[in-house]
Amino acid sequence: MSKLSGKIAVITGGNSGIGLATAKLFASEGATVVITGRRQAELDAAVAEIGSNAVGIQGDVSTLADLDKLYAEVKNQFGHIDIVFANAGIAELAPIGLITEEHFDKIFGINVKGLLFTVQKALPLLVDGGSIIFNSSAVNTLGLEGFGVYSATKAAVRSFARTLTTELKERKIRVNVVSPGPIETPIFDKMGLSEQQIDEFGTNIATQVPLGRFGRPEEIAQAVLFLASSDSSYVAGVDLYVDGGMVAV
């Protein structure tokens, strides 16, 4: 029996990395997935890769009008939502002395404001008993150099999950967080680092992971599937670290 048979799932940032791996897994478990992203060509390619039970809707999560457009289209096509995976996010690094207003506003605008309104605007369509999953990060509890603003956004995400778990309890909506460790996705190519810096960063970070390697997007997707499905029916408000043991030891 498929775990998400007949479910409608919205996955922001579903055209790449963790979001795409999750969309593929959800679809293989019987869900119809609505994926979003800013880049139309990547969105079209992802929809083609996932197959007939996928729909792509272009938009920027930090632009509220785009979220309104997303949910208007979801309402038209499906009438309701069962699962929201608020996954879209960016990572750019800057040590304290180099943090600019632009850096701060951009990362908080996407990772925090975008995520919060992704959920707020989904609520009228989300069924009672539905599931919300936030993508945070293992760095929500670590103090890695250069990660100040990014880590703070991910700690804010974790915090929202606590409050929303309480606020949505009457509707039996479960809110949970997945916090990946370092995962092999295109995110590292978008950090503004040189290839050498990426290699050094990768080698250094892998040494901090007890399992000694980067994770794969599919390994995060499995955890998101658990939190999205009835397998986790008594799990609410948790932060599930899928990080090779990085935070636990």
Return the beta strands (E) in 51-197 as ranges: 54-58, 81-86, 126-135, 174-180
15 binds ligand NAP (CB under 6 A): yes
Q: Which is nearer to ligand NAP, 22 or 232 (CB)?
A: 22
Q: Which residues carry out catalysis?
A: 150
22 binds ligand NAP (CB under 6 A): no
Amino acid at 225: L
Neighbours of 53 (CB within 10 A): 16
- Strand-strand pairing, 126-135 and 239-242: unpaired
What is the rounded distance in angstroms from the CA atom of residue 191 to the CA atom of residue 65? 27
Task: Give me the count of residues in the chain.
Answer: 249
Size of the site for ligand NAP (CB under 6 A): 31
Binding span for ligand NAP by CB under 6 A among 23-31, 67-75, 81-89, 226-234: 81-89
Q: CA dihedral in degrees (237, 243, 246, 249; nearest 10)?
A: 60
42 binds ligand NAP (CB under 6 A): yes
Tell the smallest beta-carbon distance from residue 69 to ligand NAP (Å). 12
Binding span for ligand NAP by CB under 6 A among 2-10, 73-81, 124-132, 179-187: 179-187
Structural tokens at position 67: 């979220």
By the criterion CB under 6 A, which residues form the site for ligand NAP? 12-13, 15-19, 36-39, 42, 60-62, 87-91, 110, 114, 135, 137, 180, 182-183, 185-187, 190
